[in-house]
Structure 1
């Protein structure tokens, strides 16, 4: 028992650092911030092993503790977000697509910000987006910005396309239900470039299975497609009608118009190359 008492006494003892001093109340004070490093036990509490005081953090110790706690918390958050993004995207470059990169050229981005800011409501109401329009108008960027914004809040998201999904499903019959069930567990599922996958009977059946399972899960879905709204509203046959009806029931359509941003990017790179060649010729 004496050994245990000695250990406790040493733990309860506060060793003064250079500049520390004893205040008028008999407690040890920090020589830097001039706040106590000790505190008396509260009235009515028995002294511990004959001691009437216990260690406490002075202001600068508490500041260092808080800084370390916040730094550890930030590192943990960054690691979590990194893992979420790794799981979310098949294409690594999409991990960097965020609202900070928005140049304001696409007026529809306000809907992306609204969705990310009000995701709790979108999730509760099972509201998704059907992003349709011409190639290169920013639909994938729009969707990826939402995904990254939610993952910064540590909300899991999966963004993929049906070409990848069908490739995974065709691997083996065993485990297909589990694969689709896993897709349905994400709070938000994003299917990019819908309509570009193979239109075989098998493919259409699997596409319907994924979308219908997502529908029955009661969780929101965002889909990007180059198909027109007219094509979606007037399908060519029954298999397509089953799929499109589900999508239009789950997702609010948003039209993307305007310039082809991919062509603009390509032209910008070509212009920069020409300028570099011209500058080299002038040397």
Structure 2
């Protein structure tokens, strides 16, 4: 918008003077609160519609505008983040897998934070991770923290698993390539619980197709798995070898050594139940 158009707009949207406003020695209208001018003269004696001045924001008006604009930006940001989470998570519970809800018992969580902080370099370098370790150590939660943190930055992430992918592919004979292309379009793809899917010839072929397509898309991939590093490096057959070789070429293995939170949670619930039962007996 040109200066002339701006002036026309300000003239058209000029507000009434407030009761406390006053006219200064320069003939301009001043705000009675912040004592800043609400008008400004056109340069070089120019006039528009017979007027030699145009409305101007005082500090009060500017602050009110900036507050409204900030609230509007935040509202649009929250809507976008919620849209990304609905689109990117296959389980609504994953929305709560955040750094803010972390219990602090996984030593590798700091690596997850740095992954998010260094996202631009991670993305440009196509750096993926294989999060491996014992059952219940928080691999999926750690990956979910990365996903949520990136979505908060309005970066699109898909976190799914091969059980769901294979079901979707089996149900869409005609659109398999389109489905895989959509998976590969996300800036970050997270494949959770890798290795639990069916070991059929069809299943393994589709697993390879997805991983190979992601490889060719040159976008980062994160995989969580209960497979050991030795199992990944020494596959049982050729079908698994071509999958694992491609995967280890794309992703750096990171061992997750956190406490088994499932066992810890089970112990906690057991203690809570004992306390409740003991309370009942004492009544």
Same fold (TM over 0.5): yes
Residues 106-139 of structure 1: CA deviation (Å, up to 9, x unaligned): 1111110111110111111111000111110010
Does residue 190 of structure 2 align to residue 190 of structure 1? Answer: yes
The structure-2 alpha-carbon separation of the partners of 1:281 and 1:33, relative to structure 1 and needing over 3 Å to count, comes to farther
CA distance in 1, matches of 2:191, 2:206: 14
User: Is the contact between residue 128 and residue 221 of structure 1 (CA under 8 Å) also seen in structure 2?
Assistant: yes
Aligned to 2:3: none
How big is the shift at 1:272? 1.8
User: Is the contact between residue 9 and residue 49 of structure 1 (CA under 8 Å) also seen in structure 2?
Assistant: no
The structure-2 alpha-carbon separation of the partners of 1:281 and 1:18, relative to structure 1 and needing over 3 Å to count, comes to farther
User: Is the contact between residue 194 and residue 223 of structure 1 (CA under 8 Å) also seen in structure 2?
Assistant: yes
Does residue 179 of structure 2 align to residue 179 of structure 1? Answer: yes
Aligned pairs (5 A) from 1:137-148: 137-148=137-148
User: Is the contact between residue 12 and residue 54 of structure 1 (CA under 8 Å) also seen in structure 2?
Assistant: no
**Partner SS for 1:170:** helix
Instruction: Could you list the structure 1 runs, at least 4 aligned residues long, displaced by more than 2 angstroms after superposition.
Output: 7-15, 276-283
Aligned to 1:117: 117
Aligned to 1:31: 32
CA distance in 2, matches of 1:189, 1:106: 22
The structure-2 alpha-carbon separation of the partners of 1:68 and 1:13, relative to structure 1 and needing over 3 Å to count, comes to closer
User: Is the contact between residue 108 and residue 257 of structure 2 (CA under 8 Å) also seen in structure 1?
Assistant: no
Aligned pairs (5 A) from 1:216-227: 216-227=216-227
CA distance in 1, matches of 2:96, 2:60: 38
Aligned to 1:165: 165
CA RMSD of aligned residues (A): 1.7
Aligned to 1:81: 81
Aligned to 1:11: 12
**Partner SS for 2:37:** coil
User: Is the contact between residue 143 and residue 222 of structure 1 (CA under 8 Å) also seen in structure 2?
Assistant: yes
The structure-2 alpha-carbon separation of the partners of 1:106 and 1:25, relative to structure 1 and needing over 3 Å to count, comes to same
**Partner SS for 1:263:** helix
Aligned to 2:94: 94
Which structure 2 residue ranges, 5 or more long, are not aligned? 1-7
CA distance in 2, matches of 1:190, 1:212: 14
TM-score, normalization by structure 1: 0.94
TM-score, normalization by structure 2: 0.94
Aligned to 1:279: 279
